Amino acid sequence: MEFKIYPHTVDSHTHILEMEKKGLNVQEILQKCFDQGMKSALDAAVDELNFEKRLNYKKFFPGLFFSAGVHPSSTKNMEQQISLVEKQLQNVHVIAVGETGLDFHWDTVPADKQKEMFIYHIELSKKYKLPLIIHNRLADKEILEILKNEKADNGVIHCFSSNYHFAQKFIDLGFYISFAGNITYKKSQEIREAAAKIPFDRILVETDAPYLSPQKMRGKNNHPGNISFTIDCIADLFNKGADETSFQTYKNYMNLFQVDI
């Protein structure tokens, strides 16, 4: 397995246990990434389960951090789930709340329940002074409305897949914008146009592994070793070098998540 890692690279959103489910050798992949210069990766929660199993990887990779939260499509028993998430947020290695938000593509959880769960996460974000990781699928207006109503101003819109109009509105509220491998897709011109107009100090990069493999790796399971494809795309949009882009997104990551790596 060959891949390139630029100095100061961070993967701001990946899913360790989901990669395991796809049969990827996560230990080997992360070892190669960190050996080649990756500074940090953030394992984003999709639900409240298997927290200790996720944390176990920290023993091997000091640059690995975690979030705690429930993906909107994983919403079930809200009070029980939120209770567990709150306990997890008290762990020193947890640096964010989420992923949370709204998903109107997979019609598995009623919108009102998703919104209620989202607001729970916002409250936890404020209580523990941790940034939100926001999942947005076909819900730009609704997410903006909730963020404004709840006066939320700390977090990142992960895997941004909308247009500049909404990107600017999220930035105006104080949020960062993160781009994944889908920015490299041939049909993602609107996303690239948005990225090119966003302030350089508000951009993060991610893999969302094992999902959203970049264009050159379509059809294969994604992993943090593919992060350079997204960095290269962002660098081209800003007419910057890949190393400079990697370093800037590293600084943005540190500013948002308040980690020193």
Domain made up of 10-257: CATH architecture: Alpha-Beta Barrel (3.20)
Q: What mean pLDDT do residues 33-60 have?
A: 98
Q: What mean pLDDT do residues 49-59 have?
A: 98
Supply the pLDDT for residue 108: 87
Average pLDDT over the chain, rounded to an integer: 97
Supply the pLDDT for residue 1: 65
Confidence of residue 76 (pLDDT cuts 50, 70, 90): very high
Confidence of residue 107 (pLDDT cuts 50, 70, 90): confident
pLDDT digits (tens, 9 = 90+) for 110-142: 999 999 999 999 999 999 999 999 999 999 999
Q: What mean pLDDT do residues 75-90 have?
A: 97
Question: Is pLDDT of 240 > 90?
Answer: yes
Q: What mean pLDDT do residues 208-232 have?
A: 97
CA separation for the pair 37, 58 (Å, rounded): 17
Q: What mean pLDDT do residues 50-78 have?
A: 97
pLDDT digits (tens, 9 = 90+) for 193-211: 999 999 999 999 999 999 9
- Spatial strand order of the sheet with 94-103 comes to 10-14, 40-43, 64-68, 94-103, 132-137, 155-157, 176-179, 203-205
Q: What mean pLDDT do residues 179-191 have?
A: 97
**What are the residue boundaries of the structural domains of the chain, listed by start?**
10-257
List Cα–Cα distances, 111 to 2, 74, 102, 127, in angstroms: 42, 13, 8, 24
pTM above 0.85, yes or no: yes
CA separation for the pair 72, 86 (Å, rounded): 16
Residue 238, number of CB atoms within 10 A of its CB: 15
Give percent of the chain with pLDDT exceeding 90: 97
pLDDT digits (tens, 9 = 90+) for 13-33: 999 999 999 999 999 999 999
**Which DSSP string do the residues of the chain spell out, in sequence order?**
------TT-EEEEE-HHHHHHTT--HHHHHHHHHHTT--EEEE--SSSS-HHHHHGGGGT-TTEEEEE---GGG-SSHHHHHHHHHHHHTSTTEEEEEEEEEESSSTTS-HHHHHHHHHHHHHHHHHHT--EEEEEES-HHHHHHHHHHTT---EEE-S--S-HHHHHHHHHHT-EEEE-GGGGSTT-HHHHHHHHHS-GGGEEE---TTS---GGGTTS---GGGHHHHHHHHHHHHT--HHHHHHHHHHHHHHHHT---
Question: Is pLDDT of 253 > 90?
Answer: yes
